[in-house]
Structure 1
Amino acid sequence: MDLKIKHFVIFITIGLTFSCKQQIQNVASMEGNEIRLDTSIPQKDSINAYIKPYRDRVNHILDSTLAYAPKKITKVDGPYNTTAGNLLADIVFSEGAPIFKSRTGKNLDFVFLNHGGIRSIISQGKISARTAFEVMPFENTIVVVELSGKSVKKLLAYLLESGMAHPISGMQIVLNTDNTLASVKIQDKPFDENRHYFVATSDYLAAGGDSMIFFKEALSVTTIDYLIRNAMIDYFKRVDTVAPKVDYRFYKLTP
């Protein structure tokens, strides 16, 4: 009797095993439709009521006044350096250098960014966190790249050939009337091709973005985990008035 029960149990188990085996399903066809998410979709009062406290809180944080600009700050008010470019480069230097120093024990030499990375003007009046998001909407972080003197020469050649006011800080470049280099100083000392320099830039440019392939020759790269946008916000919180000027960090000699 026990033997018959055992055989029955084995038979049932085998039957259940095969009956539960999943069959492979193949997709015969697939269709898709584009649904536009815009103002044509009617709003739902229940959803609006639910998200309103969060929206109001975010807008309050973004629009709270952090500093004041006595005049418009833009990236098109100078041929070789601009108010917006100088402000951004100086912020990256002032906010990034102490972090780099604390992590490596080394000093930052200069900052080099791209003109196209500045996406908005700063209007005259109050400056808020939203201002930083408008100027720098990307999630770019500050990185410090160690370059040889030869690579810095390529950086300078790129800057001259581009014909654009790329933001710089910690460096002074003077052109002759024929657009050749008259002098280059880094931290108020003449450029030395035989030494290495620590250059702060964005992670995008450090990876060779905007054809800045000289950054790929980096001897070392230090990521300080600091969004450029957050550096701007931290700077705005520390100061009362933001009034950058077109200056003599990059200029051309007159005849």
Structure 2
Amino acid sequence: MAKLKHFECLKIQHFVIFITFVGVVSCHQSSSTLLKISGKQVVVDSTYVPVDSISEYILPYHEHVESVLDSTLAYAPWDISKVDGTYNTSAGNLMADIILKQAAPIFKSRSGKDLDFVLLNHGGIRSNISKGNVSARTAFEVMPFENSTVVVELTGKSVKEMLAYLIKSKRAHPVAGIQLVLDKDDRIQSLKIGGKPFDENRNYYVATSDYLVSGGDNMVFFKDALEVTDIDYKIRSAMIDYFTKVDTLSPKVDLRYYKVE
């Protein structure tokens, strides 16, 4: 009888060992492997039915964002357009002046150098600013892209190439800090930067967008930049910051770039 008990105990021990071994082996062999990824396109159109629980969850956040975007920051006494001038426009002048004003102190604090002028692109302005209240939403409409402000160091020779591009393009690309006067044959009659005559023998610091520095709008002259400084400041953010500082936006077509007829 003692032997039987001993045998039964031995069988139990062997059974436990076997189960343990099987458990270890099964755990070792059960690692998950991704075999397939599948997906489907969900068309969001007039037939799409929102999920109530999700809509209710995000509603407070949506309302908060909408209220922030629509809060009045400044006022425009007239329509500010990108097509109201041949060589410069009220919208372009506003954009370039904002970057000159907002970016200059940042660049100065980080580099100890002065910003000379600004060049943006006409196509980057995606909307006019209508007469009336101006809000953060206005900035998103005018500049929906995530473009950042960068400062580029150009030689006098590269600046001349930039001016040649500007003249040849026959578009009102926004500029600030510069006065360019053409004669009736589209030759440079007068050029001042920062109120001083252009000096081909010195370098200039130009604020522009990262898109243009990468060759956007065929502004290939930026490839010859001696130095490029990203000041980590989105153009749209500069606009919003400027709107909060001023009461009234009153840009006009002026004499920063024009042609003598």
TM-score of the superposition, structure 1-length normalised?
0.89
Which residue pairs with 2:167 in the alignment? 160
* Shift in alpha-carbon separation, 1:31–1:51, aligned structure 2, 3 A: closer
Any stretches of 5+ residues in structure 1 without a counterpart?
A: 1-7
Which residue pairs with 1:121 in the alignment? 128
Which residue pairs with 2:233 in the alignment? 226
* Shift in alpha-carbon separation, 1:27–1:161, aligned structure 2, 3 A: same
Rounded to whole Å, the distance in 2 between the matches of 1:237 and 1:19 is 65
Equivalent in 235, 249, 255 of residue 256 of structure 2: 249
Rounded to whole Å, the distance in 2 between the matches of 1:182 and 1:221 is 30
Structure 1 position 225, deviation (Å):
0.9
Cα RMSD (Å): 2.6
Give the partner amino acid of 2:105.
Answer: P
1:236 paired to 2:243: yes
1:147 paired to 2:154: yes
Structure 1 position 124, deviation (Å):
0.4
Give the partner amino acid of 1:143.
Answer: V
Rounded to whole Å, the distance in 1 between the matches of 2:64 and 2:38 is 40
Give the partner amino acid of 2:81.
Answer: T
* Shift in alpha-carbon separation, 1:41–1:81, aligned structure 2, 3 A: same
Give the partner amino acid of 1:43.
Answer: P
Which residue pairs with 2:193 in the alignment? 186
1:212 paired to 2:207: no
- The aligned length equals 251
Rounded to whole Å, the distance in 2 between the matches of 1:37 and 1:147 is 47
Q: Secondary structure at the match of 1:101?
A: helix
Give the partner amino acid of 2:157.
Answer: K
Structure 1 position 227, deviation (Å):
0.8
Rounded to whole Å, the distance in 2 between the matches of 1:52 and 1:31 is 31
* Shift in alpha-carbon separation, 1:26–1:188, aligned structure 2, 3 A: closer
Rounded to whole Å, the distance in 2 between the matches of 1:112 and 1:228 is 12
Rounded to whole Å, the distance in 2 between the matches of 1:59 and 1:23 is 47
- Residue by residue over 1:45-97, the C-alpha shift from the partner in whole angstroms, topping out at 9 and shown as x without a partner, is 33332222111111111001111101100110000000000000000000000
Rounded to whole Å, the distance in 2 between the matches of 1:148 and 1:41 is 56
- Residue by residue over 1:121-149, the C-alpha shift from the partner in whole angstroms, topping out at 9 and shown as x without a partner, is 00000000000000000111111000111
Equivalent in 57, 61, 67 of residue 50 of structure 1: 57
Which residue pairs with 2:117 in the alignment? 110
Which residue pairs with 1:73 in the alignment? 80
Which residue pairs with 2:99 in the alignment? 92
* Shift in alpha-carbon separation, 1:26–1:61, aligned structure 2, 3 A: closer
Structure 1 position 18, deviation (Å):
5.8
Give the partner amino acid of 1:36.
Answer: V
Which residue pairs with 2:182 in the alignment? 175
Rounded to whole Å, the distance in 2 between the matches of 1:233 and 1:181 is 35
% of aligned pairs identical? 62
Question: After TM superposition, what 4+ stretches of structure 1 lie above 4 angstroms from structure 2?
Answer: 8-20, 22-28
Give the partner amino acid of 2:250.
Answer: A
Rounded to whole Å, the distance in 2 between the matches of 1:182 and 1:9 is 99
Rounded to whole Å, the distance in 1 between the matches of 2:51 and 2:40 is 23
* Shift in alpha-carbon separation, 1:26–1:242, aligned structure 2, 3 A: closer
Give the partner amino acid of 1:46.
Answer: S
Rounded to whole Å, the distance in 1 between the matches of 2:225 and 2:105 is 21
